[in-house]
């Protein structure tokens, strides 16, 4: 390896992750980049993150393609140092399928490339984070690229092709061989739900330009196509494939990766290692519902949600029953320890298009119900956008799960490993309830606590559950004491 070449290895993006899926390159071979400039979007088992470059220079080689899973510690990108001699390109070969038509570049395509670069250089005045405008470098690609399953809809016979000019790194739209778009334009279309398949490019050879996407966004009846969730990357089954056990035709095969892969591994580890037990109780939440309704009447715009109040009760309960805010560990010599924490990071289950994730509110025990509400809303938003950091997704010490939003009363929850307990909250509905010897209709919910029997016995678990239930039934008195 030349001393003028710097190779950046895929770093551990948090919590000892061993691999990440390359979603999108934000730079192309020949681009001039700066230190800390985002170079790629990768999806770990926990979140979608942008990877910044620790080096400045000229991009010489990209070690991977969109849709490919890369191991931590393996080369991600090679960067020639500033001032180094340009790397000589290899013999002409097929350009990556993400931007090639499989035939030599025509004068029209070359013109399209120039039009693209001119428009991108002009910019909009607001460069999107991670999608800076190209710098107009002139170095060619240094090696052929393999086909990318994520963007190629059919197998094409490769033919010698002139390397596409730098700055045209984009994506190939099925059915539109010359419709090449930039990462900036792709992101603009994705953020506004615009289907690129429905846009006729105004550039040379049908190139889709920024102005084409802007026109589609501004058109009221523009066809919209929300981005497909990561969990729905379904590959069609082989034609005529039959399942030997059921005798039915196989309709599709869905790779288990990303968040779904992490959830699968985590749940399997939880069930195989944790001897869990479950306790539950019905709770009269009428007073809590009425208290929040009164607060909302007085201050309509900043009243905490019910879950924020329950979260406040949970953190207070964990201070009293700290055994549930621990971690069970086996150390190097084979001995076992229960690790306690000076503080509470309260995780909460959030359903996203990428699957179930558990962001956590750091130092939740120090926050009021209003502050908890604001942080829960913020974390829910970044988790659903796939932008939660590894620290936000991997630092919880106890999980609160509101499965009542799905219309169910209870659940035999699986503990979020390596935590030792999880509290579930069912839907709040009208039920007959005895109050002062009289039958009445009350707002009732069910609390369910799954706990690791290695760290405490049923008395501790029941004490915590009863404490939270009592707070919900008498919220005013409970909050006065907190």
What pLDDT is recorded for position 181? 45
Residue 330, number of CB atoms within 10 A of its CB: 10
Contact 457, 348 (CB under 8 A): no
**What does the block give as tokens for 12?**
């551990």
- Confidence label for 246 from pLDDT (cuts 50, 70 and 90): confident
**Least confident among 66-70, 295-299, 437-441:** 66-70
What does the mean pLDDT of the chain come to?
Answer: 76
What pLDDT shows up at residue 50?
81
More confident residue, 162 or 463: 463
How many angstroms separate the CA atoms of 452 and 55, rounded? 46
Cα–Cα distance for residue pair 210/125, rounded to 1 Å: 13
Does pLDDT of 308 surpass 80? yes
CA atoms within 13 A on the CB side of 370: 6
Distance CA 339, CA 328 (A): 6
Average pLDDT over residues 396-401: 96
pLDDT above 80: residue 432: yes
Condensed to tens digits (0 to 9), the pLDDT of residues 24-46 reads 899 999 999 998 898 998 877 65
The answer, yes or no, to whether residue 153 has pLDDT greater than 50, is: no
399 vs 263, residue with greater confidence: 399
Answer yes or no: is pLDDT of 352 > 60: yes
Query: What proportions of the chain, in percent to the nearest 5, are helix, strand and coil?
Result: 30, 25, 45
State mean pLDDT over 178-191.
59
**pLDDT attached to residue 307:** 95
Answer yes or no: is pLDDT of 178 > 50: no
The residue with greater pLDDT, 368 or 353, is 368
Buried b vs exposed e over 203-239: b needs ≥16 C-beta within 10 Å? Answer: bbbbbbbbebbbebeeeeebeeeeeeebbebeeeeee
Q: Is the pLDDT of residue 407 over 80?
A: yes
Whether residue 87 contacts residue 11, with contact meaning beta carbons closer than 8 Å, is answered with no
Q: Which residues are catalytic?
A: 453
Report yes or no: 29 and 57 within 8 Å, Cβ to Cβ: no
- CB contact set of 438 (below 8 Å; sequence gap of 6+): none
Give mean pLDDT, residues 435-457: 96
Record the tokens describing residue 310, joined without a space.
């329950």
Average pLDDT over residues 280-292: 96
Mean per-residue pLDDT, 91-105 = 39
**In the chain, count of helices (H) and strands (E)?**
10, 23
pLDDT at residue 136, rounded to an integer = 38
Q: Is 374 a residue whose pLDDT tops 80?
A: yes
Out of 68-77, 126-135, 444-453, pick the least confident. 126-135
**Predicted pLDDT of residue 169:** 35
- pTM for the model: 0.56
Peptide bond into 80 cis (omega under 30): no
Instruction: State pLDDT tens for residues 223-235.
Output: 444 444 444 455 6
pLDDT tens, 316-325? 999 999 999 9
Q: Which residue has the higher pLDDT, 122 or 268?
A: 268
Q: Quote the pLDDT of residue 121.
A: 42
**Is 103 a residue whose pLDDT tops 50?**
no
pLDDT value of position 96: 36
Strand partners, 217: none
- Please report the domains of the chain, with CATH numbers, ordered by start residue: 1-87 (2.40.50.100), 92-121+134-228 (no CATH), 259-480 (3.30.559.10)
Which two three-digit tokens encode residue 267?
């749940």
**pLDDT for position 128:** 28
DSSP-assigned beta bridge partners for residue 243 = none
């Amino acid at each position: 390896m030349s001393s003028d070449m710097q190779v950046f290895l895929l770093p551990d993006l948090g919590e000892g992750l061993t691999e990440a899926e390359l979603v999108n390159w934000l730079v192309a071979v020949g681009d001039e980049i700066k230190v800390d400039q985002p170079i790629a979007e990768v999806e770990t088992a926990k979140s979608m993150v942008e990877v910044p470059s620790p080096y400045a220079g000229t991009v010489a080689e990209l070690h991977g393609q969109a849709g490919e899973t890369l191991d931590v510690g393996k080369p991600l990108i090679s960067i020639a140092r500033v001032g180094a001699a340009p790397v000589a390109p290899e013999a002409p070969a097929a350009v990556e399928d993400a931007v090639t038509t499989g035939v030599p570049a025509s004068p029209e395509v070359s013109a399209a490339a120039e039009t693209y670069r001119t428009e991108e250089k002009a910019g909009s005045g607001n460069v999107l984070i991670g999608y800076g405008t190209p710098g107009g470098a002139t170095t060619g690609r240094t090696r052929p690229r393999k086909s990318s399953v994520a963007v190629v809809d059919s197998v094409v016979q490769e033919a010698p092709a002139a390397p596409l000019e730098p700055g045209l790194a984009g994506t190939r739209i099925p059915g539109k061989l010359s419709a090449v778009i930039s990462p900036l334009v792709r992101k603009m279309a994705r953020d506004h739900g615009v289907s690129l398949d429905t846009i006729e490019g105004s550039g040379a050879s049908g190139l889709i330009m920024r102005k084409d996407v802007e026109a589609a966004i501004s058109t009221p009846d523009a066809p919209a196509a929300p981005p497909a969730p990561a969990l729905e990357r379904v590959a069609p089954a082989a034609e005529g494939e039959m399942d030997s056990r059921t005798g039915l035709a196989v309709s599709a095969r869905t790779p288990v990766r990303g968040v779904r892969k992490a959830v699968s591994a985590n749940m399997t580890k939880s069930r195989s290692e944790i001897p869990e037990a479950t306790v539950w109780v019905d709770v009269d939440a009428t007073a809590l519902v009425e208290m929040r309704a009164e607060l909302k009447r007085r201050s309509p715009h900043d009243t905490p949600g019910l879950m924020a109040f329950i979260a406040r009760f949970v953190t207070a309960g964990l201070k009293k029953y700290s055994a549930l805010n621990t971690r069970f560990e086996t150390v190097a010599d084979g001995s076992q320890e229960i690790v306690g924490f000076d503080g509470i990071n309260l995780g909460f289950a959030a359903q996203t298009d990428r699957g179930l994730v558990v962001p956590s509110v750091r130092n939740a025990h120090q926050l009021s119900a209003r502050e908890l509400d604001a942080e829960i809303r913020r974390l829910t938003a970044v988790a659903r956008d796939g932008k939660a950091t590894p620290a936000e997704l991997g630092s919880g010490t106890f999980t609160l799960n509101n499965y009542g939003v799905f219309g169910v009363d209870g659940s035999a929850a699986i503990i979020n490993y390596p935590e030792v307990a999880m509290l579930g909250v069912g839907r709040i509905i009208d039920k007959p309830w005895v109050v002062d010897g009289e039958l009445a209709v009350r707002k009732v919910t069910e609390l369910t606590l799954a706990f690791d029997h290695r760290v405490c016995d049923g008395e501790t678990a029941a004490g915590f559950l009863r404490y939270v239930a009592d707070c919900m039934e008498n919220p005013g008195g409970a909050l006065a004491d907190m």
